[in-house]
A and B are shown apart, each in its own frame.
Chain A
Amino acid sequence: MTVIYLDHNATTPVLPEVFEAMRPWFVERFANPSSSHPAGVEARAAIDRARAEVAALIGARPNEIVFTGSGTEASNLAIRGAFRGGRVVISAVEHPATREPALHLQRQGAPLTVLGVDGSGAIVVPDALPSDTAVLSVMHANNETGVLQPVRALADLAHAAGAVVHADAAQSLGKVPVDVGALGVDLLTIAGHKLYAPKGVGALYVRDGVALQPVIRGAGHERGLRPGTENVAGIVGLGAACARAGADLDALSARLEGQREALWARLRDGVPGVARNGAGAVLPNTLNVRFPGVSGNALLAACPDLAASTGSACHAHGESASAVLLAMGIPEPDALGAVRLSLGRSTTDADVAEAAAMLVEAWNRLHPEVSHRSR
């Protein structure tokens, strides 16, 4: 039985070559990079190489990269670390890793502005941001719809207000070009496990001269911004994954986009009334579609050999629709039919054809019942 993994926006498998780069750092070369003996010095050198590889992918300098344990940690460090009073500005479609720290600051008294999105899923750029804006935090690409956000325009507005600008590139890195200079950001979140590096490592780009407060205190690792013994193997893996991402970004994104469009064509042909969520500039690997008359959860439950996700969280008491889709103005009953299909490096043309067939078949099986019952 073939099993097809189309949930690369949730997480990616570690690339075999990335794991090979990591492997020696568990058992044989296990030393603590803070140790002054030769084995420790060797581990320190491996971290520095990885730092350079990460920096190169985003057009930064190595000393501007701070390794963390996850994308969530990087965004918390960015938002809480940069905050020194004033207003926080985010968008209505942020990941909880941005939204929740912002709400935490709001609970502590910070005014919060939440920018809305249009029907295509893009943040609406206002004429100006409030003059008391201290931190702007927006995502580069949305995790559910893949929609690329107008980071540069928002960053310029925020800088005009004297704010620090953070972008969450957890989803965009490795799928589209990410350049901190072009984006005009001061801080940028990287999540290893979204780009074929392992879970348990992330990074924050911190532009030279931007002052941050650490969230965790302790010994002086990562320039005091992130104490704790470094996850050497994970960091080496993130470096290797970034090097790989930079090597074939254009070819990979072109291939993924082709496959994504083929998937969409098959769904459109097989399911009358199916519609796409999100428009304009979208990540090449992401297809968010709503199926008429069925819930996304029920549809995926009927496709046990397909890994994909619904934008919606499954709560204890029934389903609730994706907040991202609702923010785009999609009515709740329609939003409940959404499924996110996210392709990746290992996706084949056959996977695409088969996944489409599974979904169409499942929809055909479920849909008459649903429409029958609702009659």
Chain B
Amino acid sequence: MDVYLDNHSTTPCDPRVLEAMLPWFTAQPGNAASRSHKWGYAARTATEQARGQLAERLGCSPKELVFTSGATEADNLAVLGVLRANRARGNHLVTVATEHKAVLDAAKHATTEGFEVTVLAPEPDGTVDPAAVEAALTDRTVLVSVMWANNEVGTLQPIERIVEVCHARDVWVHTDAAQALSTCALDVRAVPVDLMSLSAHKAYGPKGVGALYVRRGRPRIAVEPLQYGGGHERGMRSGTLPVPLIVGFGACAALFDPSEVERVRGLRDTLRDGLLAVGGVHVNGSAHRLAGNLNVAIEGVEAEALMLGCRDIAMSSGSACTSESLEPSYVLRAMGLDRDRAASSLRFGVGRFNTEAEIAYAVEKLTAKIAELRSMAHLYE
């Protein structure tokens, strides 16, 4: 049985999402920027409807959304775009060692442009302490970037508290919510972040499209574009709009169903309990985590060996983006796990399309394989 338990890496497009996208590839070819005919008008209407669907999901105005190619671009636009455009407000960024590479590498690059960056260490459970954020703020701090939910250990960050301490100091908050879109209520009225990165392919939408939410208000959050051109997306992101992908993004946002979250959480709990029953298995991270996320360290087992032994179960050691390197997860290392424990850790992402039978199969197969690997290791001792 093939079981896909890697939904943090990417998710399948929901067939309903593909259905919504279909007409916009061939039958409706218009360029949303074409002003002189109805094909262009139809395409524009479609992208604006999708913008409305996403805005509704986030509780924001459609005018606060900028479509991008994904969360990587959105993170870069937030971090580099805000720092570069607001030099008059300061030169300092605060972020966390467990952020996605898109934020960390943008932050690192910012230091080469004269910006100062503070990278906070998380608590051992992966949580960021709002007091630590507050302590890191200076008169020169422009932006704090803390993800909504971590892509490896699923930790849900206390964004609301972080926003409070930052706004009290007139500092903007960006959050990478790429992992949260599939299972979290994301309401920017309830949690008034200033910028939020999203990606469709983490929430049953297509790859190649994401968005950056940019709060409108006073003072205006200026964002310097990464790419210049025809002035699309109110000048913040030029380039012909990928109509089908945007329509798919809107559809996937509209399909969000809070009742599905509990089902996913139930499957995840079954998986967790099944693996804990093996013995010598420890959960990495906090209890306050994404409904579909599980990250465990398995004593006496190399994560890579277990993955090779269970090739019909898709899971990962570390995140997909870094899975080509053999280094153990920098996220787990930043949480204080030693190399050995990090190297024996696996990430599971349960999602919409998983079934109870799949979870039962995965538990059975993993349990057997763990026992086998441990007994082999024993032989060599």
Same complex origin of A and B: yes
Residues of A within 8 A of B70 (CB): 69, 228-229
- Whether a CB of chain A sits under 8 angstroms from the CB of B354 is no
Inter-chain CA distance A249–B266, complex, in Å, is 55
Q: Is the CB of B72 within 8 A of A69?
A: no
Q: In the complex, are the beta carbons of B245 and A200 less than 8 A apart?
A: yes
Q: Is B311 an interface residue (CB 8 A)?
A: yes
- Of the listed stretches B22-30, B289-297, B331-339, B373-381, chain A binds B22-30
The answer to whether B10 touches A227 (Cβ under 8 A) is no
A34: Cβ under 8 A from any B Cβ: yes
A55-105 CB contacts (< 8 Å) to partner B: 68-73, 75-76, 95-97, 100-101, 103-104
Count of A-B residue pairs with CB < 8 Å: 247
Is A233 engaged at the interface, CB distance under 8 Å to the other chain? yes
The 8 closest A-B pairs by CB, nearest first: A231-B208, A200-B242, A219-B321, A69-B69, A100-B228, A228-B72, A13-B29, A72-B239
Given A72-B238, A97-B238: A13 in contact with B311 (beta carbons within 8 A): no
Q: List 15 A-B contacts (CB under 8 A).
A: A13-B29, A14-B25, A27-B13, A31-B314, A35-B6, A100-B230, A216-B226, A218-B76, A219-B322, A227-B102, A228-B73, A229-B320, A231-B245, A304-B38, A307-B40
Neighbour of B226 across the interface among A10, A76, A234, A310, CB < 8 A: A76
The reply to whether B307 and A37 form a contact with Cβ atoms under 8 Å apart is yes
| Residues of A with C-beta under 8 A to B324 | 34, 36, 220
The answer on a CB contact under 8 Å between A73 and B6 is no
**Contact of A11 with B240 in the complex, beta carbons under 8 Å:** yes
Do A13 and B26 touch across chains, with their CB atoms under 8 A apart? yes
Choose from A27, A31, A300 the contact partner of B37 (Cβ within 8 Å): A300
A: residues with CB less than 8 A from B are 5, 7, 10-16, 19, 22, 26-28, 30-32, 34-40, 68-73, 75-76, 95-97, 100-101, 103-104, 191, 193, 198-201, 215-221, 227-234, 297, 300-301, 304, 306-310, 313-314
A5-B29, A14-B26 as given contacts; A70 in contact with B240, CB under 8 Å: yes
Tell me which of B27, B102, B244 contacts A200 (CB under 8 A): B244
- Residue B345 CB within 8 A of the other chain: no
B355 at the interface (CB under 8 A from A): no
Complex contact B320–A32 (CB within 8 A): yes
Query: Complex: how many Å from CA A32 to CA B6?
Result: 9
Which residues of the other chain, A, contact B71 by a CB distance below 8 angstroms? Answer: 228
Stretch of B127-135, B154-162, B199-207, B268-276 contacting A (4+ beta carbons < 8 Å): B199-207
A30 to B106, CA, bound (A): 27
Shortest Cβ gap from A98 to chain B (Å): 8
Contacts of B18 in A (CB 8 A): 26-27
| B 210-245 to A, binary, CB cutoff 8 A, 1 in contact else 0 | 000000000000000011111100000011111111
Of B80, B207, B226, B238, which is in contact with the most chain A CB atoms at under 10 Å from its CB? B207
Q: Would A217 and B106 count as touching, CB distance under 8 A?
A: yes
Interface residues as binary, B325-350 with A (CB distance below 8 Å gives 1, 0 otherwise):
00000000000000000000000000
**A357 vs B231: C-alpha distance when bound (angstroms):** 35
Complex CA–CA separation, A11 to B31 (angstroms)? 6
Chain B residues touching A, majority SS: loop
**Centre residue among B199, B311, B324 by max chain A CB count within 10 A:** B324
Interface string of B3-33 (1 = CB under 8 A from A): 0101001111111011001000111011101
Using a Cβ–Cβ cut-off of 8 Å, how many residues does chain B contribute to the interface with A? 73
Whether B37 pairs with A36 at a CB distance below 8 angstroms is no
Asked if B361 is an interface residue, CB under 8 A from chain A, the answer is no
B108 lies within 8 A of A217 (CB): yes
The residue on A at minimum CB distance from B77 is A216
- Set of chain A residues within 8 Å of B230, measured between Cβ atoms: 72, 95-97, 100
User: Which of B101, B206, B307: most chain A Cβ within 10 A?
Assistant: B206
**CB-based contact B25/A69 at 8 Å:** no
Known A-B contacts: A191-B240, A218-B105. Give 11 more (CB < 8 A).
Answer: A11-B240, A34-B9, A34-B324, A35-B9, A75-B229, A103-B228, A104-B228, A199-B31, A199-B240, A216-B76, A217-B76
A19-B25 CB under 8 A given contacts A96-B230, A307-B37: yes
Task: Tell me if A218 and B36 are in contact (CB < 8 A).
Answer: no
B138 on interface, CB distance cutoff 8 Å: no
Most buried by B among A26, A39, A221: A26
Q: From B10, B108, B199, B227, give the contact of A215 (CB < 8 A).
A: B227
Determine whether B264 belongs to the interface, using a CB cutoff of 8 Å to chain A.
no
Name the A residues within 8 Å of B34 (CB-CB). Answer: 7, 10-11, 307, 309
* CA of A71 to CA of B228, assembled, Å: 11
Question: Are B35 and A229 closer than 8 Å at their CB atoms?
Answer: no
Q: Which residue of B lies closest to A75 (CB)?
A: B229
